Amino acid sequence: MTRMKNVFQKIAVDQEICMHCGACVGTCPKNALFLHDLTVAADENCNGCRLCVKVCPIGAIEIIAKGADA
Amino acid sequence: MKSLATDILVVGAGPAGSMTARYAARGGADVMIIEKRQEIGSPVRCAEGISQSLLSKVELELTPKCIARRVIGAKIFSPAGHCLTLSEKQAGDEVGIVLDRVFFDKHVAKLAINEGADVRLKTAATGLIKEKGKIAGVKATSPEGDLTIRAKCVVGADGFESQVGRWAGIDTNLSPNDITSCFQYRLTGLDYDPDYCEFYLGSRAPGGYIWIFPKDEDTANVGMGIQLAQLKTAGQIKQTLDRFIAGDERLRDGKPLDMVSGAVSISAPIDKTAMDNLLLVGDSARQIDPITGGGISNGCIAGRIAGDTLAAANEKGDFSEKSLQTYENGWRDEMENRLYRNWMAKEKLIKLSDETFDKIIATLAEVGVEKVSSLAILKAVESKYPELVKEFRQFL
């Protein structure tokens, strides 16, 4: 099955894996991630630092474009 | 846009938020709690272990439904399998009860409601209202559409992912050394000892531990936390936990009833938790024990102090930072030294090799530890390995 990926600024959150726990939201040093209802979204402040990728306990986040600092 | 007004607005109906609401309402303030989820206490994001003695610091009579299981002690395993058993005789401090958070959170919310607090579910704060530079409430989404909720004081009890503090300009940012990423299954069909909480230390869970907390005779919360700075690849936590379970014959045939993911702060106390017309409590104030990752008791204790402070502030009609210092000082008197000591101990533990863990646990198992508490363990470590604790001896 093809997984739907919600694509945002620089990260992609696999909504079929995501458990909406907020680990990435609280970790993001730029406060660029938000938990809206049942989706995680990133805004233009994301610099692609990868902390959200690593903190996500289940690996639901990937970087789809390199940030300035990455 | 619909507009509401209250004296105190609490964002988040976890234990810390509900305790704050309970005591503020008891003291005569109009209190509203908003909760972004549709159900208080669910989904659970917790290993659910709590100590009887820490809980006794707040007036919280637990109903039978809140308690999944009472354990008679804890077993701490070193990488090579040495076991330090902290048993019934010494029981008391750190782990004694495994909660059912689905009921516990509702119970604490009910205590707040009994004192007169109002609750709105599926209502999520989206920003602060500021008037002439002063915080005057929050904007929120709700089933009735967008809301403005005016309040004399806003309480951020919005957990690890707290936005309220960030919106207000309080620095709650955490370093990768001060975050633990966690994953847990509730497994059933286990053949195990359901009378002890188990902890597994060492390089298999660097900067954290693996836990087995009994829920009933054949069901347990089995999870692990690893310090974010130690994580290399996406999804590493779940994969590592899956490997641990597959390698343990008591666990490998268990079937999952629940999966929980999340993160907790394991930081030193933050500098500021109160400002004009706003305060933070619980996980959002980083009031978590940096060794155990436990936050329920601390959140309840701080919530009580916050609620009492807010009731007094409401009576005076003064929600200035100065007026809210009773909270800032109160929670620090209660737990700041302990949090700071355990943060320093955590920084040490992360650096220990598996061989050192084996040596320490084996030695402690031989000499015994008087009480089930991280302080008692650290004191025992001090007697045998003073160099490990010399940098924070003043806190022991």
Chain B: nearest CA to A32, how far in angstroms? 11
A70: in domain:
no
Q: Do residue B263 and residue A22 have CB atoms under 8 angstroms apart? A: yes
Q: How many structural domains does chain A have?
A: 1
pLDDT for the residue numbered B96: 85
pLDDT digit string (tens) for B247-294? 999 999 999 999 999 999 999 999 999 999 999 999 999 999 999 999
Residue A5 reports pLDDT greater than 60: no
So where are chain B's domains?
2-45+102-172+270-343
Q: Over 90: is that where the pLDDT of B190 sits? A: yes
Q: Looking at residue B169, what is its pLDDT?
A: 96
What is the model's pLDDT at position B396?
81
The tens digit of pLDDT for each residue in B298-341 reads 999 999 999 999 999 999 999 999 999 999 999 999 999 999 99
| Nearest C-alpha in B relative to A35 | B161
Q: What is the ipTM of this complex?
A: 0.90
Q: How many residues does chain B have?
A: 396
Residue A55 has pLDDT above 90, yes or no: yes
Distance CA B376, CA B139 (A): 46
Lowest mean pLDDT among A32-41, B141-150, B362-371: A32-41
DSSP alpha helix (H) spans, B273-392:
296-316, 325-351, 354-367, 374-384, 386-389
**pLDDT the model gives residue A7:** 47
Residue A26: closest C-alpha in chain B? B161
| Residue B126: band (very low, low, confident or very high) from pLDDT cuts 50, 70, 90 | very high
Query: With an 8 Å Cβ cutoff, is A14 touching chain B?
Result: no
Rg (CA), chain A: 11
The mean pLDDT value for B35-47 works out to 94
Q: Which domain holds residue A53?
A: 5-63
Q: Is the pLDDT of residue B130 over 70?
A: yes
Considering the domain boundaries, does residue A35 fall inside one? yes
Task: Please check whether residue A68 lies inside any domain of the structure.
Answer: no
Q: Which of B163, B236, B262 sits opposite A23 (nearest CB)?
A: B262
> Would you say the pTM of this structure is higher than 0.90?
yes
Q: Which amino acid is at B264?
A: V
B262 interface with A at CB cutoff 8 Å? yes
The residue ranking higher by pLDDT, B349 or B302, is B302
Cβ contact B161–A35 (<8 Å):
yes
3-state secondary structure at position B259? strand
B181 beta partners: B226, B263
Q: pLDDT at position A36, please?
A: 72
B8 by DSSP, 3-state: which?
A: strand
The CATH fold assigned to B2-45+102-172+270-343 is FAD/NAD(P)-binding domain (3.50.50)
Q: CATH code at A19?
A: 3.30.70.20
Q: B137: how many CB neighbours lie within 10 A of its CB? A: 24
